[in-house]
């Protein structure tokens, strides 16, 4: 899930990996608009039913206005997977 914060200062994204319960993997949140790509990395942590990637924030000023896609890439010693992209509108 990704969106512009209520105060407009940051774009926040969070996510999890279902079917995998482990910690220590690398979560990369990827935002794309044409040739522009922004990313943020976090370390995963485990919870009872999934692997959590937590929440990241990127300043809204780093994004140009318009439609972006957001996706989550997860890599660990045992798993590598990428989510389907979701749409994100930057006002």
**36 inside domain:** yes
Contact 70, 28 (CB under 8 A): no
**31 inside domain:** yes
Q: What is the full per-residue pLDDT of the chain (91 aa) written as tens digits?
A: 999 999 999 999 999 999 899 999 999 999 999 999 999 999 999 988 899 999 999 999 999 999 999 999 999 999 999 999 999 999 9
This prediction has a pTM of 0.94
Q: What is the rounded distance in angstroms from the CA atom of residue 61 to the CA atom of residue 59?
A: 5
**86 inside domain:** no
**91 inside domain:** no
How many CB atoms within 10 Å of residue 23?
A: 12
**89 inside domain:** no
Range of the domain at 33: 2-77
**90 inside domain:** no
**10 inside domain:** yes
Number of domains in the chain: 1
Q: How far is CA 89 from CA 8, 13, 23, 32, in A?
A: 12, 13, 31, 11
Residue 34, by phi and psi: left (phi above 0), alpha (psi -120 to 50) or beta? left
């Amino acid at each position: 899930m990704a969106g512009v914060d209520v105060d407009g200062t940051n774009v926040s994204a969070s996510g999890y990996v279902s079917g995998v319960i482990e910690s220590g993997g690398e979560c990369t949140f990827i935002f794309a608009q044409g040739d522009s790509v922004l990313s943020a990395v976090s370390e995963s942590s485990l919870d009872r039913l999934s692997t959590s990637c937590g929440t990241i924030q990127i300043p809204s000023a780093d994004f140009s206005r318009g439609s972006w896609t957001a996706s989550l890439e997860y890599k660990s010693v045992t798993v590598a997977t990428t989510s389907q992209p979701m749409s994100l509108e930057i006002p």
